[in-house]
Structure 1
Amino acid sequence: MNIPDAATGATGENNAFAADLLRGHTDTIVLGILRRSEQYGFEIYKAIRDATGGEHEIKEATLYATYRRLEKDGLVESYWGDETQGGRRKYYRITDAGRAVYRGNVAAWVATRRIIDNLLDVKDTKNG
């Protein structure tokens, strides 16, 4: 038996399903954050955590693998910051190619969400 999570009402299986869905969109999530401004690695981690009210965190190891992949694919560029205190930070910025991929991924997500909502007969989840 799956017991609902007190905070979300979701069962353990549903939480795993949601995590799988989110994991499939890590690149797009990171690109979306970098659209707003250049940021260093841990700052991106905090932005994701804070944007979800702590409901979702992406492991740092997963994020750093994502940064390397996005950079290799030419979707982000990195540079070392010139911090006067503390350790040096590696900053990331989105490229024009990254912006194009982000827009395409968001359009695909919106279309997919619309299709799934129609198939599940979801009218308005806020009103229940």
Structure 2
Amino acid sequence: MSITSDLIRGNTETIVLSLLRNRDSYGYEINKTIQDRTGGRYELKEATLYSVFRRLEEAGLILSYWGDEATGARRRYYSITPAGREAYEQNLKDWQEAKEIIDKLI
């Protein structure tokens, strides 16, 4: 069964915040983690992922900085802010409430 984008689309910011809770990361690595965790059933388009980064950064929920890789291209890393952690926790509560309601309706 394939996961439809419509079911996930409204939660991409929460997914990214969730992945940044444990450590800083960069775009390719975040998308690879999403693919791995879903067994390849879901991935974000690059444009979508970087739009999410832009929105989260503008809202003060994440910060970005350039890595100092010795070889290869420099990577832009993202880290979650305290406000981002709070937003994640609230989004998680909202998701759990919505899931409970949907479970009762379907």
Q: TM-score, normalised by structure 1?
A: 0.80
Q: How does 1:11-22 map to 2 (within 5 A)?
A: 15=3, 18-22=4-8
Q: Which sections of structure 2, spanning at least 5 residues, go unmatched?
A: none
Q: Which sections of structure 1, spanning at least 5 residues, go unmatched?
A: 1-7, 121-128
Q: Which runs of 4+ in 1 moved over 3 A?
A: none
Larger Rg: 1
Q: How does 1:1-128 map to 2 (within 5 A)?
A: 8=1, 15=3, 18-120=4-106
> Which of the pair has the greater relative contact order for Cα pairs under 8 Å at 6+ separation?
2
Aligned partners of 2:102 and 2:9: how far apart in 1?
A: 18
Percent identity for Structure 1 against Structure 2: 54
RMSD across aligned C-alpha pairs, in angstroms? Answer: 1.0
| Alignment size in residue pairs | 106
Q: TM-score, normalised by structure 2?
A: 0.96
User: Which whole-Å deviations, capped at 9, do the CAs of 1:30-73 have from their partners, x for residues lacking one?
Assistant: 00000121001111111111110100011011001110110010
SS at 2:21 equivalent: helix
